[in-house]
Structure 1
Amino acid sequence: MGSLFLIHKIMIHLWFVAWMCLGACSAQFPYDPTNCTSNEAVIETRYSCNSTHDSCKTFLLYRANEHFNTISKVSKLFNKNSDEVLQINNLTSSFHSQVLKQGKEVLIPVDCTCSGKYYQTSLTYKVHENTTYSDIACGVFEGLLKPLTLAEENLSQGNKAEAGSELHVPVTCACPDSDNFTRSKKVKYLVTYPIILGDDPEKFIGKFSISLEDFAAVNSLKLNPLSTIYPDTVVFIPLRDGPIRILDIPDSPSPPPGFLLTNPVVIDQESTQSSNLYIAAGSVVGFLLFITLLASGMYMKRLRKSDVVHSFSSTNFPTLWTPTKTSTTWCLSPDLLVGIKYYLLNYSIEELQKATKKFSEENKIGDFVYKGSVNDLEVMIKRMRLEDTRQVIDLHSKINHINIVNLLGVCYGESNDSWCYLVFELPKNGCLRDCLSEPCNPLNWYKRTQIAFDIATCIYYLHCCSFPSYAHMNVSSRNIFITAYWRGKLADVGRALATSATLSKRNDSVEIPKGLVAPEYLLHGSVSEKVDIFAFGVVLLELISGRDNFDGKTMKDSLGFLLGEASEGSCFEGLRSFMDPNLKDYPLSEALCLSFLAKDCVADDPLIRPTMDDIMKVLAKMV
């Protein structure tokens, strides 16, 4: 049985490596899903080039804002002649100093060059007042480069942009590779296009009259269905020969915040000409996978003969490289194959003490958890023992979900007995419990159902899409954090347990969650998905009512109107009295539906509780 499990694990690793290799061979300009303000260390977020002589004329899109609201000001920002910008955008000279509507899209002609190993448009920017790299990259230049890139290009300026300093600004761009991008119609320009909330592929593809197929190909996105793309990120719009024009597209209803609607592509007749190429590519893929399977079989045969299995030690954290003029290093996950693209920042204790005011009570936001700011990034810093630290890092290296709070870095103690610290992102709007506790909280019904759906998809991922499957075991409104776009993220995931575990097998440092907990967990220590379902039901009750003082008795009393205890016709009256007073407008039918769902989730009998798949089907109809 152990051999079969090992074979299965190695096969998964080999398939993953093969997939990575194939993806690398076919990629044009891989889409980076991290938003502008993210300081996550993502490998090669800039677009690589091969020759220092590689350059091209291209365009980028900029949107007018309160500080750069005329063609004159926008042109000066990009060091361009305003007459040239007016001509490109088909505007008359009267627009030279005319105030543009907020969000007005302006095409900027730029020279894109291969500088070092990256494509970029090199600009300079004089700082007028003390500010941060994030404000410049995401505010002034509206996401056309990352704060991390700006910091790397201006190491001599320190961690902040001081007033009077002049910064080197490498704006994102790219040149099409005529040798590799062999489609039925050649691409001459790759327009740098920053995605904003409310964009969807149909809208911005229509603006430039291009095919969805070309757009997906040049950004290395899946086509059917189109890969999800996110606000505050950058894509390339592939265009043939000019003139370049932005067409007027009527506004469509905005999609839910945080992700963009995708539409199926209708393949035209010209695309069928390349079908033979796709068949040939499929054959090559099949052959490579066959070789992978054959190699894995031979490798397992060799393992049986020697009866020796080599594995990576979970105590090793090798350093990849050390940037200059900083105490930060990069660390690779202990499990190299599972976490092949996962690596962490290694912080010094001095950095964390400075960020938390020496771990003061003022910065404390939970048991051994502190908030702080490191390199202008708001973070949560959690103290724990070395053994627990290794467990959390190992688990985070194996899971990847947009609704999980990101682990950014680690600070190791001087010895095995010393405290270690894990550094997590701190979403802008804090924890859900604090948001609900505000007297006039901004969480309307739509935002609450969206948050519930976000957390449901995250728990579903742990239950059904991970190997082995995990139970979070500590789902609560205090472990759910809210982003700037009012999306939910689940924290404390690194302490999740495989569903085969029991309480007796748990580490002594793992505490029983506070608050209302599934009865079977307290009685028998059973670790199962149903424990998470119960906890999720309590979160639903908090979202509906705004309350946080539930225990077994008060919960049943509160739900009496759903248990047949209310007189006929007063069910809706009971529901209205149960609802959060801050909710001024909500669909009564959806509120009743969500209340019944919460009631089923917190049933004493685990067998009566729904699965997370059932829960998602209900919530999907509300978001």
Structure 2
Amino acid sequence: MIYLWLLFWACFNLSYAQQNYDYSECSADESFPGSRYTCNSFKNSCQTFIVYRANTQFQTLSDITALFQINSNEVLHLNKLTSSTEILKSGREVLIPINCSCSGQFFQANFIYTVPGNTSYSYIACGVFEGLLKPHLLSTENQTQENGPKIGSKLHVPLKCACPDNISVSEGVKYLLTYPFVEKDELSLLCEKFGISLEDLCAANLVVPKPTVYPTTTFLIPLKSDPNITFDITDSSAPPTPGFLPTITIQKTNKVKLKILYIVVSVVGFTLLLVALLACGLYVKALRKWKGGRIQSFNTRSSTQVSFSTPRSSPRSVQTGHSTTNSCLSPDLLAGIKYSLSGYSLEDLKKATKNFGEDTKIGYQTYKGMIDNVEVMIKQMRFEDTRQAIDVNSKINHINIVSLHGVCYGDSDFSWSYVVFEFPKNGCLRDCLSNSLTLLNWHKRTQIAFDIATGLHYLHHCIFPTYAHMSVSSRNIFITSTWRAKLSSIETNHAVGSSKGSDILAGLKACIAPEYLFNGSASEKVDIFAYGVVLLELLSGREDIDGKFLKECIGFLGGGGSEGGCFEQLRSFMDPSLKEDYPLAEALCLAVLAKACVEDDPSHRPSMGDIMKVVGRMV
């Protein structure tokens, strides 16, 4: 998994060492891209700088330089100071020169810290060293210190840093300064403080312009000359000091008049409260009476007719001459159903689908048709599965998942039923990719990838119980007239952890995760595997029939080939209909992401939240 993240440096193909910005808090217990800066250049070491801020523990330049084991006289001029013992204002920034070297896969500046008293790795990393490294890294580097740091022990402290590569030197970037954010820091102020452009700053940290940044995280500052901080830059959005606030003279109010006013306001308020309580009681009583009448009326009619009204069309009735047990919808099926669903007759559906003709068939037991001038998708399913389908879809309300319109049971054959969904105008994603006349450009494809991820994230995290879709494929993703993607609805109950049904994922061999074939339990990671397959289809335009072809095509991302060869193979993998009208760096990002999603080991696949962070930067 690590080598996949190392490939992300090429995602934007810029002219200096590129590193991810780590959004996680300093105290986070795990490593994220950007938690450390990778050695992705030919330089093994360099001289660079970090920014440290004066605080109550380190108030003078002498105190701060002692922490970093350097001579304070050597940095007086650099920090525009005349004395190393001058008490600095809390938060005053100090430039510290460091030697940054490549150790294994990461750059780091090595220091020794002597533990003065009872403390923790979190306090040392996030407090003493102000977020210039993460606690879990400090703990890992000092594994001999059992049960935390001991008083008097010497800790190895690898601070975050980075060196420009050979290309960045030719472009004029001389240093990559490590800057820890504090509250109210903004990129515009940072640019003004160091005299750099916003574009260069964002590109060096792989963020979009105007990103959200967080305290105790770090940024790399690309400098083309020796660092020179403009210390008098202030936040113009900060409120004015109290001395400049306007003052208003308030005259003293007569105490007697004030007391009378309090009494009047109290009486009026109490009266209004009583009136409000009385109105609420009358409303609740009337509502209960009305509901009782509705229920009684409904129970009287349920033996012969069940009707659903919908704002999309006029009320429909599904009638039957059979007994209550043979009605199209039994009363116990109504639990959990949205009352906006329509009840369709079988004649309605036959008319809409030309008697379920082959030319209206769009998938396994799935047809398209027109009802009341609205295009719909009609799915045939077993009678016993219908309740589950309605129960699940009645809980779902999301723009990236097709909505349920209604239901119908056969007039005489009660082993089958029909569930009616919306049908987005442009049909399924597979047809859009296969049709050479469809103008599915790069922007539309990245938006579709983001829409699919958003819909799956909703199912995995935003409803209760959480669900795995378990049928994600380019044939089960539909495209609207505005080229937005919608997942086909969940037809049966795939609550996370439940076992598979007999026909689940039928016909979707390419999208079946390996672990599903062994244990068969519903899992978010199964959806993520399928998402990776769809992502590869979006990139290449080709359909993976056996589940191996596309994975083999991206074998060049394993890191064995040269950089130039990697890009050439990526170009040959991309959909020819794009005509190379796409950002090569973004294409590489999505290819690397797709490869991570289709890892055989589910623990190596990213989460849906991680996927949204990557794809969200491209839309």
Bin of the TM-score, shorter chain as denominator length? 0.3 to 0.5
Q: Which has the higher contact order (CA 8 A, sep 6+)?
A: 2
Q: What's the TM-score, normalizing by structure 2?
A: 0.47
TM-score, scaled relative to structure 1: 0.46
User: Which has the greater radius of gyration?
Assistant: 2
